[in-house]
Amino acid sequence: MSKLIPECVPPQPSAAFSAIVRDRRDNAIGYLITQAQRLLHKGLGMKLQQHGVTVAQWTVLVVLWEVDGLTQKELSDRVTVETATLSRTIDRMERDGLVKRVRSETDRRQVHVFLTDYGAGLWRDLVPEAETMLKLALEGIDADEEETLRHLLKRVIANVQDCSCQVTDESR
């Protein structure tokens, strides 16, 4: 594993030193993962925008297409977004006719989120947009390389997913 900052840091960084730091940053795994995610979201966002949907709304739709009627807390856990942030996203989705909230009949504190017919039907339009973006991102990468990438990213996620450095709604 390479270090981001060289062992010896001069009192006044030179252009050469700055170039070393920039090169190390540009090749750091965390930086590359972040850049890939940002660019994928930007490209997907532009495609989804044509359908009046944001990337944040897309992530909620994907989960609800799999399991409709989750509570806001369950949905928050699945999309890995804080409950308060998700609540604002769901407000906009409800306003736009994508979802509806229904208070639980057994526990009035819980609110379930259901797709509307319109939200459910967007699957046909939005999934091909996401597939097009992913195809573009994986251009020039063969099936074995894609599987290796998937496997390595899952290992990275597993390594950090359960670490104590993760902040949750409960720890705030």
Give the residue extent of every domain in the chain: 11-52+122-161, 54-120
Backbone angles phi, psi at 136, to 5 degrees: -65, -45
CATH class of 54-120: mainly alpha
> Could you read off the pLDDT of 30-51 as tens digits, one per residue?
899 999 999 999 999 999 999 9
Q: pLDDT confidence of 104, banded at 50, 70, 90?
A: confident
Q: Rounded to an integer, what distance in angstroms lies between the CA atom of residue 38 and that of residue 42? A: 6
Please answer whether residues 99 and 116 qualify as being in contact, where contact means their C-beta atoms are separated by less than 8 angstroms: yes
What was the pLDDT predicted at 115? 98
CA distances from 65 to 59, 108, 110, 113, 150 (A): 10, 24, 20, 11, 23
Give pTM, 2 decimals: 0.78
> Could you read off the pLDDT of 46-78 as tens digits, one per residue?
999 999 999 999 999 999 999 999 999 999 999
Q: Rounded to an integer, what distance in angstroms lies between the CA atom of residue 160 and that of residue 100? A: 34
